[in-house]
Amino acid sequence: MELRQLQYFVAVLEEGSFTRAAARLHMAQPGISAQIRRLERELGQPLLDRSGRSVTPTEVGEALLPYARAALAAVEGARQVADEFSGLLRGRVTIGVVSGAAVHEFDLAAALAAFHEQHPHIEVTLTEFSSERMLAALQDGALDIALAGLADEEPPPGVRLQVLIDEPLVAAVAPDDPLVRLAAEAAEAAEAGGTGGTGLRLEALRDRPVISLPHGTGTRGVLERACVRAGFRPRVVFEAADPQFLAQLAARGLGVAAVPRLPEHVASALGLRVLSFAEPQPRARIALAWRAAGPAGPAAGALLDRLRTDLVATGAARDRRGAGS
């Protein structure tokens, strides 16, 4: 029995076809068929049922399949151990990124390109969906790493975090929105009373049309929980994954965009007024997340190390630009 025969056997069953298995393995179909027939003769049992439209395992083939997969996994594990000692890493890493424009705050593409150049034999799979789903996928082991928004102060059980962005939510409104006058009155009252407390009270959003990121995002979770603590639920009339698109809707007078800090040039170009909320301000946070037990393997550990270095540096540079604007 040869390892390649087990590899062909597993590939045919996973693809349900000799033709697709051959394409996946970059081989000619007759060669795969011949090797599997040799394996069947050696074991003295038919392993595949070829009579239907798709290839399926016989009873013996079904029983053999988990052992074949375990043998292939053991060989791959041995190869990875040997590669580690020679400084060569192999494997696959799955990383999830937060939906929408927030990911563009980081040069993730540059970080992944640099990592690929350093470790060309590691396959990186990138997916994009909501932060809520990503954190659950980390807990289940379906993801190795995530760049996710946070709705809670504490990480979910079994997850570790490194916060990259931590900034207050703001209310972006058209210049003639009543909240502009309300915020100015609050500032004047605070100055006259010498209290030093300024900003728009969150209760000002009660019964107002709100424009927000979608359900499942960290920012939306933060907004909703802050509003509930203030005694109401926000009336969200528009939602989208891109904060700058939300700002465009607000500029058209369609509601109050509750978004993370907007770049000054974006607000200026749209003619928006950006109003701060009073303390305690709801805050938008984006973090690098991974399983508390550690990465699943050396490949995931190497990518995590790279991202922790590159994305933290990018976040720090972004904060310096924000402070200087």
Domain residue limits, the chain: 3-86, 91-164+286-324, 166-284
More confident residue, 65 or 90: 65
CB 221 within 8 A of CB 272: no
Residue 281's Cβ-count burial label (10 Å; 0-12, 13-18, 19+) is middle
Specify the pLDDT at position 229.
93
Specify the pLDDT at position 174.
95
CATH code: domain 166-284 is 3.40.190.10
More confident residue, 89 or 161: 161
CATH 3.40.50.720 fits 3-86, yes or no: no
Specify the pLDDT at position 314.
61
CB contact set of 119 (below 8 Å; sequence gap of 6+):
89, 299, 302, 303
pLDDT of residue 321 exceeding 60: no
pLDDT of residue 165 exceeding 90: no
Q: Which of 35, 34, 68, 36 is nearest to 49 (CA)?
A: 36
Backbone phi and psi for residue 141, each to the nearest 5 degrees, phi listed first = 85, 5
pLDDT of residue 315 exceeding 70: no
Mean pLDDT calculated for residue range 179-200: 76
pLDDT band at 101 (very low <50, low <70, confident <90, very high): very low
Cα dist. 103→70, 100, 118, 279 in Å? 37, 7, 23, 27
Q: What is the pLDDT of residues 21-76, one digit of tens each?
A: 998 888 899 999 999 999 999 999 999 998 888 899 999 999 999 999 899 888 87
Domains 3-86 and 166-284 equal at CATH topology level:
no
Specify the pLDDT at position 183.
86
pLDDT of residue 324 exceeding 50: no
pLDDT band at 250 (very low <50, low <70, confident <90, very high): very high
CB contact set of 192 (below 8 Å; sequence gap of 6+):
none
CA–CA gap between residue 214 and residue 130 (Å, rounded)? 8
pLDDT of residue 103 exceeding 80: no
In Å, how far from its chain's centre is CA 306?
16
Beta strand 145-150 with 91-98 is parallel
Which CATH superfamily is 91-164+286-324 part of?
Periplasmic binding protein-like II (3.40.190.10)
Of all residues in the chain, the percent with pLDDT exceeding 70 is 89
CA–CA gap between residue 89 and residue 40 (Å, rounded)? 35
Q: Which of 105, 118, 156, 132 is nearest to 312 (CA)?
A: 105
pLDDT band at 87 (very low <50, low <70, confident <90, very high): low
pLDDT band at 154 (very low <50, low <70, confident <90, very high): confident
CA–CA gap between residue 319 and residue 36 (Å, rounded)? 59
